[in-house]
Structure 1
Amino acid sequence: MNTATVSPAQTFSVANTNAIGASYAALAGRVLIAPLFLLSGVSKVAAPAATIGMIESVGLPLPSVGFGLAVLVEILGSVALLAGYRTRLVAAVMALFTLGAALAFHNNLADQNQLIHFFKNISIIGGLLQIVAFGAGRFSLDGKASR
């Protein structure tokens, strides 16, 4: 019988390598999800009347307030995600925002296009919940504060 033994130094090295890999994956996840929100927020700022009109068209109350909240969540939230600042809280807020958007704007599930958009939002929520669960990782302002 051949049993491989692992020295404490090798165990530390493997654990350290896994932690570094997880930190790179966390950074990549944040960098890949944030532009979606940043571009959406910037496009809202570029055409506020169109955005407010869309909010009005689905019957949501206080469309101007909704516009302001959407811009705030999308732009500040994406910047905070990129920096890894208060990441779990920010990702949770963005997940709730994305759920609200799915329910308000992509709720005609009989329309295949709306169905796809609805489930894209649900998938984005899944990614944000991974950030809520596992945090920003080492390469973040949150990670720097915990070192």
Structure 2
Amino acid sequence: MTGSTTARNIGLLIGRIGIGAIFLAHGLQKVQNGQEAMSSGFESMGVPLPAVSAFLVTWLEVLGGIALIVGALVPVVGALFVIVMAGAYFSTHADNGLWVSDGGYELVLALGAASLILAVVGSGRFGVDGLLGGKLPFGKKKAAVAA
């Protein structure tokens, strides 16, 4: 049983770092492009409150990506990313089919599904949340990944 729990925690660590790195890279790309360009892009896609949305999404991707990488506030950050990916799906990608090469939703779907898993399961043992254990309001429900 210990081996499977350890494997699960290592899997969560690797997955969390991978997903966090993708979100962080996308956020840094938005920072590099500038908020004005992001706001214009969001406006052209019909995103509500484009300037506010661009700012919030950019910094959620940067800070949330870092949080996932280190395993901090993973259920909260995961849930926020689910909301952002749902917004991206409905505002931009839904009508373009599955394939990302056609502007489709495959990446949004994969990132949203991975974020949902992290929101439900948490960081696992190998992250800030795991190190704090039951001290967080969401840390006590993680029997599936307990040491």
Q: Is the 8 A contact 2:97 2:105 kept in 1?
A: no
Instruction: State percent identity of aligned pairs.
Output: 27
Matched, 1:33 2:33: no
Query: Are the structure 2 counterparts of residues 61 and 134 from structure 1 closer, same or farther at C-alpha, using a change threshold of 3 Å?
Result: closer
Q: TM-score, normalised by structure 1?
A: 0.81
Which of 1 and 2 has greater Rg? Answer: 1
d(CA) in 1 for partners of 2:119 and 2:48?
29
Offset at residue 50 of structure 1 (A): 2.2
What displacement does 1:62 show? 2.2
Instruction: State the secondary structure of the residue aligned to 2:95.
Output: coil
Residue 129 of structure 1 and its aligned partner are, at CA, apart by 1.3
Q: Take 2:27 and 2:132, find their aligned partners in 1: how far apart are those partners? A: 28
Q: Would the alpha carbon gap of residues 33 and 56 (structure 1) be closer, same or farther in structure 2, given more than 3 Å must change? A: same
The answer to whether the aligner puts 1:131 opposite 2:118 as a matched pair is yes
Distance 1:94 1:20 in 2: 26
Aligned-pair distance for 1:79?
A: 0.7
Once the two structures are superposed, the pairs formed by residues 1-147 of structure 1 within 5 Å of their partners are 15-48=1-34, 49-109=36-96, 113-114=102-103, 117-146=104-133
Unaligned stretches of 5+ residues in structure 1: 1-14
- Paired residues, what number? 131
Task: Report if the CA contact (8 A) 2:98-2:106 is conserved.
Answer: no
What is the alpha-carbon root mean square deviation over aligned residues?
Answer: 1.7
Q: Point out 4+ residue stretches in structure 1 off by more than 2 angstroms.
A: 59-62, 107-112
Structure 2, unpaired ranges of 5+ = 135-147
